[in-house]
Structures are given as C-alpha cells and as structure tokens.
C-alpha cells in the first residue's frame, strides 16, 4: 500500500527559484501542499503574493490558501533581490491571476493549518524558503502549534561563505533576528530542523537542453520554467541554472539524496561584516561547547540585538547532495 502524501506548507518570497519550488510542491503526487504563506524578501510582499498566485495557476494547483505575511524584517529595513529576480521577482514574467489570497494573515493561516493538523493527529512539514519573519512571529506568538510540525526544512544559511555578503546567505541576512528566534524556538519546542543552505543550494542545476525539453511541452508551468531557466542562465552568463529553493522541497521528498551532519548553529545578529552569518560549530571537543554555553548563559541581553543570547540550536546541516538525482526529481514534476 503506498504511503500517504506528505502534508506540506511553504513560506515563500516568490522569486524565480521559489517558483520552481512551488511547481514541484503543487504537482508531485507524494506531497500535499496545504498552504502557502508569503513574506517580503526577493520582492515586496504584495508582489510576492501576486507571483505566488500566478505560479500556482500555471502549475494547475488545486485551491491552495495563500496568505500575505510580513512586509519587512523584524528590525532592519527590507532589501529586495531585484538584481537577481528582476523588478517583478519573476524575471519579467509575472502575470495577473484570477486566484485570490486568503483573508487571513500568514501567521493566522499557519496557526489554523497547524492546529487543524494537531486535531487530526497529523504533523506537517514546514518549509521556509524565504526570510523567516513569519515563522518567528508564529512560534513566539503561538508556541502551541509546535505539536503540528513534523520538521522545519529551511532554505537559508551556509556552513561556508555567503551570497548577500561574503559571510551571509540572503534569506538569513535579510532578517537575522527572525532566523535567530526561529532556531531558539525550535530548540525550546523540540522541533527538528534541517538547514538546506548554500553548500547544497548551488549544486543542483538544470541546463539549456532541459529548458528546451520543457519548452516543447504543451504545459504552462513547463513553459514558465523554461523561460525562467533561460533568464537566469543569461543573467549569470552560465550554461546551467540552479533550481535553488526547489532543492529544499526535493529534500522533503527524498531525504536520502541529502548528506547531513548535525551541528550546533547560531545566527550572528550584531552589526558588521558577519551580520546574518549562520555559525555552524564543527568543533568536536565537548569541553569547548560546555565552556561556550556557560559564557552565553551569563551574557544575557546582547547590546546589539533585541533577542537575548541563547544556546545554539541543534540542526541537521546539509553538506552534500546528489545533484543529478534532485534535478531529475524536479524535472519529473513536468513529466520530463
């Protein structure tokens, strides 16, 4: 007897690679996309909502509730990624949709869906593909929803270098306080966490031949995917295009394709060149960890942040990926 589909909620800032992720989540038979929440990041939040509705249209998704969330980070001003995703967030391919967003806020929709899962004896996998502002607000306002979360698989961070800065990946850098709050809340509420960061994000790619095969299909989603692949290839001057955020959805579908190691992880929230860095602690001697924990506990409130210093969260950090396997998994959503 086949396993039931995995209940899934995406939190997005739709962008090009969020679009790739939405297409996979909406179409794969082993996933049940229950809701999508939107946050400012790659584009302003109202544009993110419009992009999300349009991509779900092209994917032929059933009626999935889509909610508008935070319009800016918790503390810092917003900074979009129009230089990568275009002014409309979709490389110039955004179009209107007949779908309408939910009247609920993102946090209210997340709470509703997770409490509904608890009532049904289920758990939902939560996949933030964006700055984690909505998720931070949810977990601190309604910690009781933790019982409905199977795992958080977030696209963000890095165990090596960054892309928004030399140290920080964009999603975490955009709202480092939110990312720090989410990790602290997950540690307190015993929510398992997987970090799908730049170490694997940059490896899963498709190419011009894949775009050509998609373009031949009489399928609006395949046509959009092909156009976005070619736009990204032209922008970066590369033969390939990363599927990016879609890889985190692949990790939910096929965890065996991902190589993870478990480490303590913190987020740097202080001003300076390292702001937004995910500090992945690979030290092996427990004495060092105990000494640092004692120091952090005595540190109290940081002078640089509204969040108190807290012990690191234990996170499954993705360091290796079967890139060809995940690329094929993504393409399978289009029958390629």
248: domain CATH number is 3.90.245.10
Other CB atoms within a 10 A radius of the CB of residue 223 amount to 17
Q: What is the pLDDT of residues 267-278, one digit of tens each?
A: 999 999 999 999
Q: What is the pLDDT of residues 17-74, one digit of tens each?
A: 999 999 999 999 999 999 999 999 999 999 999 999 999 999 999 999 999 999 999 9
Name the average pLDDT for the chain.
92
**105-119 average pLDDT score:** 98
45 located within any domain: yes
Q: What is the pLDDT of residue 89?
A: 86
pLDDT at 82 over 90: no
pLDDT at 301 over 60: no
104 located within any domain: yes
Query: Which of 123, 10, 116 is CA-nearest to residue 65?
Result: 10
Q: What is the pLDDT of residues 204-228, one digit of tens each?
A: 999 999 999 999 999 999 999 999 9
145 located within any domain: yes
Number of separate domains in the chain: 1
167 located within any domain: yes
82 vs 254 pLDDT, higher one: 254
Please answer whether residues 251 and 316 qualify as being in contact, where contact means their C-beta atoms are separated by less than 8 angstroms: no
Q: What is the pLDDT of residues 164-186, one digit of tens each?
A: 999 999 999 999 999 999 999 99
Q: What is the pLDDT of residues 127-144, one digit of tens each?
A: 999 999 999 999 999 999
Band (308; pLDDT cuts 50, 70, 90): very low
Report the share of the chain in percent with pLDDT over 90: 85
Q: What is the pLDDT of residues 144-169, one digit of tens each?
A: 999 999 999 999 999 999 999 999 99
Identify the domain containing residue 280 by its residue range.
6-332
Enter the DSSP assignment of 157: -
87 vs 222 pLDDT, higher one: 222
Residues 6+ apart with CB under 8 A from 41: 13, 15, 48, 78, 80, 81, 130, 131, 170, 171, 174
The reported pTM is 0.92
Q: What is the pLDDT of residue 139?
A: 98
**64-89 average pLDDT score:** 92
Q: What is the pLDDT of residue 283?
A: 87
111 located within any domain: yes
302 vs 33 pLDDT, higher one: 33
Q: Tokens representing 229?
A: 């692949």
Consecutive H or E run containing 298: helix 286-299
Classified as helix, coil or strand, 310 is coil
How many Å apart are CA 292 and CA 315, to the nearest integer?
A: 17
170 located within any domain: yes
1 located within any domain: no
pLDDT at 315 over 50: yes
């Amino acid at each position: 007897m086949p396993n039931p589909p995995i209940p899934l909620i995406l939190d997005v800032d739709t962008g090009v690679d969020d679009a790739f992720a939405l297409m996979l989540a909406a179409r794969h038979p082993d996933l049940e996309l229950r809701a999508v929440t939107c946050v400012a990041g790659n584009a302003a939040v109202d544009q993110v909502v419009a992009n999300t509705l349009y991509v779900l249209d092209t994917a032929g998704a059933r009626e999935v509730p889509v909610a508008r969330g935070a319009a800016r980070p918790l503390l810092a001003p917003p900074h979009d990624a129009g230089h990568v995703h275009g002014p409309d967030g979709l490389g110039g391919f955004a179009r209107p949709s007949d779908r309408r967003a939910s009247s609920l806020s993102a946090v209210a929709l997340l709470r509703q869906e997770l409490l509904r899962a608890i009532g049904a004896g289920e758990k939902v996998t939560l996949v933030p593909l964006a700055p984690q502002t909505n998720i931070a607000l949810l977990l601190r306002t309604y910690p009781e929803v933790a019982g409905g979360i199977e795992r958080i698989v977030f696209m963000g961070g890095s165990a090596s270098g960054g892309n928004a800065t030399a140290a920080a990946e964009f999603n975490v850098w955009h709202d480092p306080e939110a990312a720090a709050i989410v990790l602290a809340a997950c540690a307190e509420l015993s929510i398992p966490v997987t970090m799908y960061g730049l170490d694997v994000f940059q490896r899963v790619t498709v190419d011009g031949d894949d775009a050509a095969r998609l373009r031949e299909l009489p399928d609006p989603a395949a046509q959009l995917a092909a156009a976005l692949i070619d736009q990204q290839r032209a922008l970066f001057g590369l033969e390939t295009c990363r599927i990016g955020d879609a890889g985190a959805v692949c990790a939910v579908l096929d965890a065996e394709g991902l190589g993870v190691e478990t480490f303590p992880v913190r987020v740097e929230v202080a001003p300076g060149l390292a702001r937004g860095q995910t500090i992945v602690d690979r030290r092996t001697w427990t004495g060092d960890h105990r000494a640092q924990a004692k120091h952090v506990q005595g540190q109290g409130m940081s002078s640089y942040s509204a969040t108190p210093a807290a012990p690191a969260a234990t996170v499954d950090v993705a360091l290796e990926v079967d890139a060809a396997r995940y690329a094929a998994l993504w393409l399978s959503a289009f029958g390629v």
